[in-house]
Structure 1
Amino acid sequence: MAGTSLEEIVMACQGASLSNLEDPESSIQVTGVPLDSRAVTQRDLFACVIGVHDDGHQYADEAVRKGACALLVERKLEHAIPQILVPNVREALGPASSVIHGEPSKKLKVIGVTGTAGKSTTVQVLADVLERCGTTADVLGTLTGDYTTPEAPELQRSLAKIRDENKEWACLEVSSHALEFDRVKGVDFEATVFTNLSPEHLDFHEDMEAYFQAKRRLFDFECPVAVVAVSDAWGKRLASELRGIGHEGLVVVDPQLIGNPKLTRSGSSFVWRGQEIETPFLGAFNLMNLLVAAETLRALGWQQEVIVEGLTHVSPVKGRMEPVTVPNSDLVVIVDYSHKPEALKEALRAVRGLCDRRLWVVFGAGGDRDPSKRPLMGAIATQLADEIIVTSDNPRSEVPIEIANEIAEGVGSSGTPYRIVLDRGEAIDTAITEAQPGDLVLIAGKGHETYQIVGEQRLPFDDAAVSRDALMRRRESNIP
């Protein structure tokens, strides 16, 4: 990698100044901008980010010892190496990372999707349909990394990789954390998209208003197209605000554009702007995700016939309302990523309509995450399921039984049968073993994830694989 001069980085960062450059002719070339001093290598610009618990300026000594060629700082430090002084290191990190990687988003067409639910499905559908439209696209988000939206250096590096693979489009999930921490600064967007908003991350955001304002920041970017789904009050408010400031590229996506919806165990169909679309996606909420993707592509200039053809052939997203099957099974099992109250409600509503007899749900709640949602999820399960098994779901540093008991508080004295089975594998096996022919079992919470986080360990665990094994044991036990 050739590298980028300190002067170029200064020009990219608003309000930046450069000091300690003894020889202006030396032209130091920077190849990376890590936040972690332990990851610093030669020719790196170490970013002294001030975080919630740590101040990166305290780790500058270690970064210099490891070979940092310069420091990105908010206050001048007692080091002889060059320092780029900025008002806010986090705000500067995106533009700095972008210029170091050759401003990849200027060579790409980037679609950013934010919202509480539907981001992963929407970006995957967008990318798949774009590929079927004859162009090239890739996805960055929950399905491709550990974080919905990575820190700016990794994000820009990933965009550069997509650019270097000669792809034209990048479809990017944008989380509220990413917007709050300026991770997408330095990204040029072709379109920004809002799916919906419901309570989530309230352990991080002060309240729903603060959560909305974080999501709202995506629409502060100069961007030709802004797509807003108005399926809830927050979407309607955002559309009204964007209309109020005269956003010329505003596209409002009304759920009423979904005509004649039909939902079955094998998929769904609906009419969009006069044309019928048949899809293997399950659930009414997925029709909204498909509609948002379709309206986004239409706003970007794609012909309706091409979009419809693409949507008809798009495959379901792994871990999103994913049926788990084995030959000759007498039971329907579905794995879904629904780990938030509203998502669990939508998933249960969707599968209720596909269930001949009793509806089982196996779910938990993540540790070290917003605890207020736990009893809400218990109450939702009580309202919509017939049999409830509460289990563990990435307990992290918390005690699993304490999380389960908080969920159980929401079940209360409703009379809905429930039990706590902390071993997730055992919980899935119990539901699949005890369910009767014609029942449906929803395994909720982990979806595509192939691990369980216990303490600081990431242990192998795959809901779909565990469910498939349980179905095979069930089938074999029923063979005379």
Structure 2
Amino acid sequence: MSSATHLPTAAAPQPGATRVEELARAVGGTYVGPSSPGSSPQAGQAAYEGALVYGITHDSRCVTPGALFCCVVGQHHDGHRFAPQALAAGATAVLVSRRLDLDVPQIVVSDVRAALGPASAAVWGQPWRQCRVVGVTGTSGKTTVAHAVADLARACGTPCEVMGTLDGARTTPEAPQLCRRLRRAVDAGAEMVVLEVSSHALALGRLNGARFAAGVFTNLSHEHLDFHRTMEDYFAAKARLFDGRSAVAVLNVADAWGRRLSKMIAGTTDLVATWQPSDIEQVTVSPVGISGRWRGHTVRSRLLGRINAANLAAAAATASALGFDDDAIAAAMPAIAPVRGRLWPVSGTDDDITVLVDFAHKPDALAAALRSARELCAPAGRLWAVFGAGGDRDQSKRAPMGAAAHRHADMVVLTSDNPRSEDPARIAADIAEGVRRRPGARGGLHVELDRSAAIAFAVDHARAGDVVVVAGKGHETSQTIGNRTVPFDDAAAAGGRLQQRRRTRR
């Protein structure tokens, strides 16, 4: 039998510490003492009364003294096998689906992964109850909407943080990391946290036990079908944000899936607030931002492109549903900052072309980005699209991405975008099928599999007044080729080539 090396106890819990027996109650599990041959589940339990947990993880490599180690059974690994390693690193207790022959307090539940969220919230003091958490889900727009809501809240005097795509390996972290970050945000004074919520996180139960002041739905289109298999499954995953865990639902009813969702939750959500992109009226776009009318107010924003009118409408509707004053929301619109990698301008006032970097990596998002960029072209200017598609991912979106680029751009440059184990040339050929199947091409199709060279080609061959959209990676700063991940930044590559163009023009 292994022996536990760290069992901190105290007459009363210290700040940030939780008794094991309290955790068992929080997750609806059974608290049992150490296991030994022939012992009853309660044998030895008294010796461990008052054992304290100071953290939580399901990764044995991340165990710190006093942690609760959660033995998640995954697709490839069974966490129960790593419990001895976790104890050697200082775990106080384990969360298991079967009692282990280990000298340590154990919380037995039917499904460890399902209990991971409630356990994490309990360890970190239920941070969901101590600040208003806003969840933003949908295929496109999550990042921009999340940051826009946060900027509006801050401008209206509410300390707010954002968690999502731009600051982590996952759009939505696993429950232990998420609850720890929420706790730190609350302790730092945040009164609101806006969280990007992915369909993967909802499907895999990372948000079990979570509670949201508001859930926001932006739209749904073809994406992640390598994971969800069908659009129905994809929609069902997104809909879980509105299964009662969100007090307010803020839904885009211009989207067919949003209308369906509105009908689904009408009797189960306290407040359903609807919005649509046309809520921002009389939209005017320019190279310095967009303006329009919202609920009778003139509004201006530094965000570029007509596509961002929809994101502004979503953010404003969310702030209003949360109780912010409409006058204050309208006045705060200029405080919404452009988001890196979302129609992000790389070019400046010294350039004779416009170069934008965007995260669009699915057909509808690419089409929307190109439509918005088209309005920034000079009267005789051409629109360039530089993009690829990820390898080892949903192949069915490749030809539709080619068709979207063909429909909206004058010049299409196909390149690589995280080809992973696939042949980049094969991926480019799959995308090109979408171009060739549509008659009446606007202009040229060029294939350059070296992404840096592809960007250089577009920047070098663009004419004054042209707009170049480099799509697919956005804020990302690496490229995965085979089993190697190498540094690569679209903005840096485009910016460097623009410098050379300026020198040539002089």
Compute the TM-score of the two structures, normalised by the length of structure 2.
0.91
1:326–1:468 CA contact under 8 A, matched in 2: no
Residue matched to 2:495: 468
Q: Aligned equivalents of 1:157 and 1:364: distance in 2? A: 36
Letter in 2 for 1:411: V
Q: Return the match for 2:390 from 366, 369, 374.
A: 366
Residue matched to 1:341: 363
1:449–1:462 CA contact under 8 A, matched in 2: yes
2:16–2:125 CA contact under 8 A, matched in 1: no
CA-CA distance at 1:25 after TM superposition: 5.5
Residue matched to 2:11: none
Q: Return the match for 1:12 from 11, 18, 26.
A: 26
**1:51-89 Cα deviation digits (max 9, x unpaired):** 222222232233233333222111222323222111211
Three-state SS of the structure 1 residue aligned to 2:233 is: helix
Are 1:393 and 2:406 matched, yes or no? no
Residue matched to 1:185: 208
CA-CA distance at 1:274 after TM superposition: 0.6
Letter in 1 for 2:280: I
Are 1:282 and 2:282 matched, yes or no? no
CA-CA distance at 1:207 after TM superposition: 0.3
- The answer to which of 170-179 and 419-428 deviates more is 419-428
Residue matched to 2:340: 318
Q: Aligned equivalents of 2:204 and 2:417: distance in 1? A: 26
**1:319-347 Cα deviation digits (max 9, x unpaired):** 11111124421111111111111110100
CA-CA distance at 1:246 after TM superposition: 5.2
Residue matched to 1:240: 263
Three-state SS of the structure 1 residue aligned to 2:403 is: helix
Identity, in percent, stands at 47
1:189–1:221 CA contact under 8 A, matched in 2: no
1:326–1:471 CA contact under 8 A, matched in 2: no
CA-CA distance at 1:393 after TM superposition: 1.3
Stretches of 4+ aligned residues off by more than 4 angstroms: 413-416
Aligned residues: 477
Letter in 1 for 2:467: L
CA-CA distance at 1:2 after TM superposition: 4.5
1:258–1:271 CA contact under 8 A, matched in 2: yes
Letter in 1 for 2:18: T
Counterparts in 2 of 1:200 and 1:96: CA distance versus 1, 3 Å: same
Letter in 2 for 1:7: E
Unaligned ranges ≥5, structure 2 = 1-14, 35-43
Three-state SS of the structure 1 residue aligned to 2:150 is: helix
Q: Aligned equivalents of 2:46 and 2:482: distance in 1? A: 50
Q: Aligned equivalents of 1:136 and 1:181: distance in 2? A: 30
Are 1:48 and 2:71 matched, yes or no? yes
CA-CA distance at 1:295 after TM superposition: 0.9
2:16–2:123 CA contact under 8 A, matched in 1: no
Q: Aligned equivalents of 1:306 and 1:437: distance in 2? A: 40
Are 1:308 and 2:306 matched, yes or no? no
Are 1:423 and 2:450 matched, yes or no? yes
Residue matched to 1:291: 313
Within 5 A, what are the aligned runs for 1:32-431?
32-243=55-266, 245=267, 247-356=269-378, 357-412=381-436, 414=439, 415=441, 416-431=443-458
**1:185-227 Cα deviation digits (max 9, x unpaired):** 2322111111110011000002000000000000013433111
CA-CA distance at 1:456 after TM superposition: 4.1
Q: Aligned equivalents of 1:230 and 1:293: distance in 2? A: 15
Three-state SS of the structure 2 residue aligned to 1:24 is: helix
Letter in 2 for 1:82: P
Q: Aligned equivalents of 1:404 and 1:221: distance in 2? A: 43
Three-state SS of the structure 1 residue aligned to 2:449 is: coil
Letter in 2 for 1:57: H
Three-state SS of the structure 2 residue aligned to 1:228 is: strand
Letter in 1 for 2:21: E
Three-state SS of the structure 2 residue aligned to 1:422 is: coil
Letter in 2 for 1:467: A
Q: Aligned equivalents of 2:46 and 2:391: distance in 1? A: 51
Letter in 2 for 1:91: A
Residue matched to 2:463: 436
Compute the TM-score of the two structures, normalised by the length of structure 1.
0.95
Based on CA coordinates, which of the two structures has the bigger radius of gyration? 2
Q: Aligned equivalents of 1:25 and 1:70: distance in 2? A: 13
Three-state SS of the structure 1 residue aligned to 2:57 is: coil
- The answer to which of 173-182 and 307-316 deviates more is 307-316
Q: Aligned equivalents of 1:314 and 1:209: distance in 2? A: 34
- The answer to which of 285-294 and 459-468 deviates more is 459-468
